[in-house]
Structure 1
């Protein structure tokens, strides 16, 4: 009985060794891919700018207020977009330059890709595999640029939301970083994706905002710099 028990124990020990060895063989440590060189797709300017005021008016008839608010927002957006057209056209190049500068300061080698082939109907639908690079590809685009007044306030704040996509190689199907960064109106305090705007870039009314168009442009410039710095910090991780 003792011999049988000893033999059984020995077999159990050997079996455990083989199982553990097999598990270790199946799950080798995967080294993290180190990205040093980045090809940056030039950032396009936002297609348009707009304003939106969602201020809630208690005890007012819902449908007439909604229709009136929608019409007012359209009219104000058209006026705002016209006033800020020169600012809109520069935002893409400004963000491209800011990202390039911040990434280089963080130790990356950055090349801006020129003459990227884009679809007319969807400029951000890019075939990465056709890009003239073998380095990592960083695609950045504006998902929203506006001045926004929330339901609980008549104050307008800058809103600049930027989406990012980093591929380790052009032909890769999976991104190593994919995130949207929120500056201004959609920020939510101290979070990695959240970038609150300076209170000086807030406006108590639409007319005040239009009269201070140069200040609004400075607020967007501040957003560009803040987003570039935060993106660099996140990629450095």
Structure 2
């Protein structure tokens, strides 16, 4: 019996991302997202962060939500407030557990530019009722990512992060404004999970998040990493 015939249904394709300058691709294992990791964004969401008494928090998105930069995606169902969130994406290249901050660079393969698309109305209802964020965050076609720039061992500490909708700047900040930086994120997240090659970490979004509608074109970039684009299509 062949391997494929042992499955009742065809297994899903492996989610993957292109690598700049290579014909090989990064197989995506898991998608982790850091919540409220820029002070100004935390304030605009009505939940200021005090790093002295808090630690990072996370949510996950299925690899099945991944779409490549340049795609056109349908406006999602059951929302009237679909938001963009521009993020620097960290790509893990070496397995690690309980990683000390000073060793974080050993586990980095590279970086990408990402959009954490969000049904904001559903997320806020869930947040205010103390429910999981899945319906607001783990959205079909909701994890947009550019090609991966290989930067093994490099810890990005600064660089402009910005996003425009239809040519108008909506988000503009710097990676140096992360509340928890790359080393701190890796060290903390690896206390909970055995990080694996192909894990993606969306590191957080700056202030200026907002809604898009069908026909809108999003363009975002992180200095020294690249660009991500997305077009919002008609609803289903």
Give TM class, smaller chain: under 0.3
More strand by share: 2
Q: Answer with 1 or 2: which has the greater Rg.
A: 1
More helix by share: 1
Specify which structure has the bigger relative contact order, considering alpha-carbon pairs within 8 angstroms and separated by 6 or more residues: 2
- TM-score w.r.t. length of structure 1: 0.26
- TM-score w.r.t. length of structure 2: 0.26
